[in-house]
């Protein structure tokens, strides 16, 4: 289980953990209750989306006593932030913990931008109907069951996409061309496009040497600069993209599992199933059924 210091800080406070679940794709969901308490988060190293379910009208930052929460309001706590909180009265809330790699993946997929250029800024008690709906929906699901866990997975990816869009701006997109330290924009685009095109190819198409050559860098410097840009290793990114493509293809339940595996670069259907069980604690077909069910429910509510 990945370490999440915000989760650990709450565990050491008076807060009561009602339930939690690893969603896969470096996302973790937790539901908490607290009352008359204080807590301190210090540069946790991961991002946190917090949405209040009940209470919270007496909850505030120590240095902002006049700005208090309410049901449906959300907070964004970036990886490098620090905050001290005072909870007066009762509070129930949902937390989504997001790794740098998960954030980078959504920024690249949605915006085709350098992830470090789309900054996730601290937000305290914002109001957003989509995020409030996300919290209410996941709070109503059974996380212990496969279906509820997978529905939470799909819904939480949508919430993360919403955060990316809220963080994006024309200025942020322009800044993508100016961020230093990682891969140059053109090199990053060449490498990521090559990965997407060759996800179903033999391993030699995606070796570190091949990708470094596309960026005109040594393997050592490419590996370091890739991690700076994307927040994860090359191998982790490739596996992440293979799993994401498989999830997309499984929206069509007519595709044989062997074809899905081949299209994503997995050795076999059993290899794909093994990765799904490791990452999502479900089979590909269970994920496929839940995905279609969740989409149908969201369409009926639209």
pLDDT at 175: 54
Residues in the chain, pLDDT under 70? 1-2, 170-181, 202-203, 299, 301-302
Are 194 and 214 in contact, with CB atoms under 8 Å apart?
yes
Q: How many CB atoms lie within 10 A of CB 207?
A: 13
Domain edges within the chain: 5-171, 180-298
**Rounded alpha-carbon distances, angstroms, from residue 153 to 130, 134, 252:** 16, 11, 18
| H or E element in which residue 61 lies | strand 59-61
The per-residue pLDDT for range 115-153, each reduced to its tens digit, is: 877 889 999 999 999 999 999 999 999 999 888 888 899
Q: Could you tell me which of 275, 215, 214, 218 has the C-alpha nearest to residue 243? A: 275
Q: Enumerate the β-bridge partners of residue 54.
A: 92
Are 51 and 93 in contact, with CB atoms under 8 Å apart?
yes
Rounded to a whole number, what is the distance in angstroms from the first to the last CA of the chain? 35
pLDDT at 55: 97
pLDDT at 38: 96
How far apart are the C-alpha atoms of 250 and 288, rounded to whole Å?
A: 5
CATH topology for 180-298 is Arc Repressor Mutant, subunit A (1.10.10)
Burial (CB count <10 Å: 0-12, 13-18, 19+), residue 180: exposed
The per-residue pLDDT for range 183-230, each reduced to its tens digit, is: 888 899 999 999 999 998 866 788 888 899 999 988 878 888 898 888
pLDDT at 2: 60
Class of domain 5-171: mainly beta
How far apart are the C-alpha atoms of 252 and 294, rounded to whole Å?
A: 14
pLDDT at 75: 98
Contacts of 207 (CB under 8 A, 6+ apart): none
């Amino acid at each position: 289980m990945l370490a999440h210091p915000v989760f650990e800080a709450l565990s050491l406070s008076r807060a009561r953990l009602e339930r939690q679940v690893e969603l896969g794709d470096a996302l973790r969901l937790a539901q908490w209750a607290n009352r008359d308490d204080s807590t301190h988060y210090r540069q946790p190293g991961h991002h946190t989306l917090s949405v209040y379910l009940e209470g919270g009208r007496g909850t505030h930052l120590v240095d902002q006593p006049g700005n208090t929460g309410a049901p449906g309001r959300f907070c964004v706590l970036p990886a490098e932030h620090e905050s001290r909180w005072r909870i007066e009265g009762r509070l129930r809330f949902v937390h989504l913990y997001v790794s740098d790699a998960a954030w980078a993946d959504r920024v690249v997929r949605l915006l085709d931008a350098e992830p470090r250029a789309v900054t996730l800024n601290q937000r305290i008690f914002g109001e957003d109907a989509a995020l409030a709906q996300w919290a209410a929906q996941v709070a109503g699901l059974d996380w212990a069951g496969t279906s509820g866990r997978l529905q939470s997975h799909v819904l939480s990816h949508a919430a993360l996409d919403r955060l990316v869009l809220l963080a994006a701006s024309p200025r942020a997109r322009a800044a993508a061309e100016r961020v230093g330290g990682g891969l140059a924009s053109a090199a990053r685009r060449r490498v990521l496009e090559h990965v997407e095109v060759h996800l179903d190819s033999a391993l030699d198409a995606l070796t570190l040497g091949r990708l470094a050559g596309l960026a005109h860098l040594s393997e050592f410097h490419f590996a370091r600069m890739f991690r700076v840009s994307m927040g994860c290793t090359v191998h982790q990114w490739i596996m992440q993209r293979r799993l994401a493509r498989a999830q997309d293809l499984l929206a069509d339940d007519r595709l044989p599992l062997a074809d899905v595996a081949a299209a994503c670069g997995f050795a076999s259907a059993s290899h794909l199933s093994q990765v799904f069980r490791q990452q999502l604690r479900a089979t590909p077909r269970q994920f496929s059924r839940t995905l279609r069910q969740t989409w149908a429910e969201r369409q009926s509510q639209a």
